[in-house]
Amino acid sequence: MLIFRQLFDPPSSTYTYLLADGGSGSAVIIDPVFEQVRRDAALIEELGLRLICTLETHVHADHVTGAWLLKQWTGCQIALSAESGAEDADRYLVQDDVVAFGSRNLQVRKTPGHTNGCLTYVLDDRSMAFTGDCLMVRGSGRTDFQQGDPHAMYSSVHRQIFTLPDACLLYPAHDYRGLTVTSVREERRFNPRLGGEIGEDDFAGYMKNLRLAHPKKLDVAVPANLKCGRPDGNMGVTAEPAWAPLRYSFAGIWEIDPLGLEEHAREVQILDVREPEEFTGPLGHIRGATLIPLGQLAERAAELAKDRPVVAVCRAGSRSAQATVILRESGFPDVANLAGGMLRWRAEGHAVEGGSPLEYIAEYSI
């Protein structure tokens, strides 16, 4: 079974693709974005996958790749085109190379035109291809900088992409209108720059008159991407919160496990956001917890100190997740959610004030 996810970075309109072999859990990620590495790593962890390789479709001009950072976090390899000019990769890909992940693989096709080192990755059964900034949905990558060449792009599209099966789905590296996917059949017919009877010189004429502004991040992105996204010094690397062992979820919430909270209970403020009758009810509450029901939190957040981390707690961990969002919006820098709430806290045997023994609590009786 193939696991497939299309992820989006709104500031740069970049698509990142996660592909994995369900059997072995081996995964690759195509065109990760530096600022989204935390999100992508959380998804990989939640799906129980092991990242074996990052793949670039090209040296991007509009965002910094997350390849280097993902390698630091997961120990994966970094791969991109042998013609990229980039240093620090583990694997330099050429035409017809095969990138295996478990029992699945991607085949490498050279598709220069946007840059010299542009690659298209084709899934083993030719049902999907990742075209980078070569062929886009009813569009194409620009050809006016980074060794761009409309003649090379025309040939790449016609020889390497339009020769795939009609039904092959095509996934680009960007879309500026929110379009997510297309197919060989559609683009051969309807691509306004390259489809139908449009010839090479028609395409070159079109591309010479695109008149796009240069990407805003060009001067930062290209040098960083020529080092696979390795930042200079510590610049740009967001530090992990150091006050307790936290985990970032794909839902966008920092979480702490019951054991982590037990170990750091003295340094943090525990905020219980349940209703008063729950606070004094059978599940009990954690010693020292401040009770502010979720519905009152936005108005009463000032009752908490901003210079000490806050751990939000509720019954099962969902209302308290929202409490962390409200606290962040109120300017609290260090907040986390108790994963699993009081239910898990009690199930794992941690102490409470008040409450009933587990065997008398309905939630625990089977």
Ligand X SMILES: N[C@@H](CCC(=O)N[C@@H](CS)C(=O)NCC(=O)O)C(=O)O
Q: Which does 148 bind (CB under 5 to 8 A by kind): ligand X, Fe ion, none?
A: none
Query: Quick check: 174 binds ligand X (CB under 6 A)?
Result: yes
Distance CA 128, CA 130 (A): 7
Are the beta carbons of 278 and 292 closer than 8 angstroms?
Answer: no
Q: Which residues contact 37 (CB under 8 A, 6 or more apart)?
A: 66, 69, 70, 73
The distance of closest approach from Cβ of residue 174 to Fe ion in the complex, given in angstroms and rounded to an integer, is 7
The interface with ligand X within residues 125-154 (CB under 6 A) comprises 133, 139, 141-142
**Given the complex with ligand X, which of 221 and 342 has the nearer CB atom?**
221
Residue 212 binds to ligand X (criterion: CB under 6 A): yes
* Tokens linked to 324: 């962390």
d(CA 153, CA 115) in angstroms, rounded, equals 9
Q: Which is nearer to ligand X, 214 or 300 (CB)?
A: 214
Q: Which of 7, 61, 137, 312 binds ligand X (CB under 6 A)?
A: 61
The answer to whether residue 216 forms part of the interface with ligand X (CB under 6 A) is yes
The yes or no reply on residue 177 touching ligand X (CB under 6 A) is: no
Return left, alpha or beta for 159; rule: phi > 0 is left, psi -120 to 50 is alpha, else beta: alpha
Between helices 37-46 and 67-74, what is the axis angle to 10°?
Answer: 40
Under the binding rule (CB under 6 A), the answer on residue 193 touching ligand X is no
Distance of closest approach, residue 59 Cβ to ligand X, in angstroms? 10
Residue 139 contact partner, candidates Fe ion, ligand X, none, CB within 5 to 8 A by sort of partner: ligand X
Q: Which is nearer to ligand X, 61 or 224 (CB)?
A: 61
315 binds ligand X, rule: CB under 6 A: no
Closer CB to ligand X, residue 133 or residue 257?
A: 133
Nearest to 238 by CA among 16, 33, 37, 32: 37
User: Which residue number, 56 or 133, has a Cβ lying nearer to Fe ion?
Assistant: 133
Q: Cβ 161 to Fe ion, closest distance in Å?
A: 16
Residue 10 found at the interface with ligand X (CB under 6 A): no
CB of 140 to ligand X, least distance (A): 7
Which amino acid, 355?
G
56 closest CA partner among 21, 22, 99 = 99
Give the end-to-end CA distance of the chain in Å, rounded to a whole number: 34
Residues 107-166 that bind Fe ion (CB under 5 A): 133
Q: Tell me how far, at minimum, the Cβ of 61 lies from Fe ion, in Å.
A: 5
- The interface region with ligand X, picked from 17-25, 208-216, 284-292, 348-356 by CB under 6 A, is 208-216
User: Residue 79: CB partners within 8 Å, gap ≥ 6?
Assistant: 53, 54, 55, 56, 89, 90, 91, 92, 93, 99
Position 105, amino acid: N
Q: Is 233 helix (H, G, I), strand (E, B) or coil?
A: coil
Q: By the criterion CB under 6 A, which residues form the site for ligand X?
A: 12, 61-62, 114, 133, 139, 141-142, 174, 176, 212-213, 215-216
Q: By the criterion CB under 5 A, which residues form the site for Fe ion?
A: 133
